[in-house]
Amino acid sequence: MDAVTLLTVVVLAVFVGFEVVSKVTSKLHTPLMSGANAIHGIILVGAIIVAGQADDPWLLAVALLAVALATVNLVGGFVVTDRMLEMFGPRKAASAHPADAAADGGGTPAGAAGAGEERP
């Protein structure tokens, strides 16, 4: 394929991808993001394969740049997905400070037990 055909395919893929992603409801963004992370993992494997077979220094530099960017994209995607999934989890207690728990009669704060005393 020539360069114009490849550029046309990339531009059409960008438009189709934008239209598809913009129509997804907000409830499906997390599963969609997880799927995108898996695709980025495949891109990372492809970039590593290209870097391993590169003979030209420019091709090797571009392949290593692709490996670095794919790694950042993959790790960042999983971090964002993890944060989004935490938003749907159960809420934690409002006060987890040991001094507050001791004042409420909930137990002994850490470090308050003297030498020789048993902690509950």
Q: Round to whole Å and give the CA distance between 44 and 42.
A: 5
pLDDT of 105 strictly over 80: no
Contact call for residues 21 and 76 (beta carbons, < 8 A): no
Amino acid at residue number 48: I
Residue 1 vs residue 19, higher pLDDT: 19
Nearest residue to 29 via CA among 79, 81, 70, 75? 81
Q: What pLDDT is stored for residue 114 in this prediction?
A: 46
The whole model's pTM is what? 0.52
Q: Residue 111: pLDDT above 80?
A: no
Residue with tokens 């728990």: 101
Q: What's the pLDDT at 97?
A: 61
Is 96 a residue whose pLDDT tops 70? no
